[in-house]
């Protein structure tokens, strides 16, 4: 299967676990990479005050993915975190 610009690989697997309805989200990460969204975030967003926790880039991209996945509020990030197929847990 053709791969995108990010260092992950799509693999087909037959299994009863690890299914996701959010398999299209990584394509948006490819788009963000091509458009250099991460560099823009690093250049313009300076909300993080320490080295602990998520970087500004991780936080903004997570919120963007949450919005694309249909989240209504920040607490809905738990939807992505609990998704076995998307989060890899």
Q: What is the domain extent for residue 81? A: 25-87
CA atoms within 13 A on the CB side of 83: 16
Residue 14 belongs to a domain? no
For tokens 């313009």, what's the residue?
44
pLDDT digits (tens, 9 = 90+) for 6-65: 666 666 666 666 566 676 788 888 899 889 999 999 999 999 888 888 899 999 998 898
Residue 72 belongs to a domain? yes
Residue 16 belongs to a domain? no
Residue 6 belongs to a domain? no
Instruction: Tell me, yes or no, if the pTM score tops 0.85.
Output: no
Residue 18 belongs to a domain? no
Residue 43 belongs to a domain? yes
Indicate the number of domains in the chain: 1
Residue 15 belongs to a domain? no
What are the distances in angstroms from CA 28 to CA 11, 14, 20, 77?
18, 25, 16, 16
At residue 11, the pLDDT reads 66
Residue 63 belongs to a domain? yes
């Amino acid at each position: 299967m053709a791969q995108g610009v990010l260092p992950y690989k799509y693999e087909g697997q037959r299994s009863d676990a690890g299914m996701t309805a959010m398999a299209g989200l990584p394509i948006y990460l490819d788009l963000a990479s091509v458009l250099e969204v991460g560099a823009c975030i690093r250049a313009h967003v300076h909300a993080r005050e320490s080295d602990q926790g998520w970087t500004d880039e991780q936080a903004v991209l997570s919120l963007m993915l949450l919005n694309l996945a249909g989240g209504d509020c920040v607490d809905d990030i738990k939807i992505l975190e609990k998704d076995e197929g998307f989060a890899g847990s």
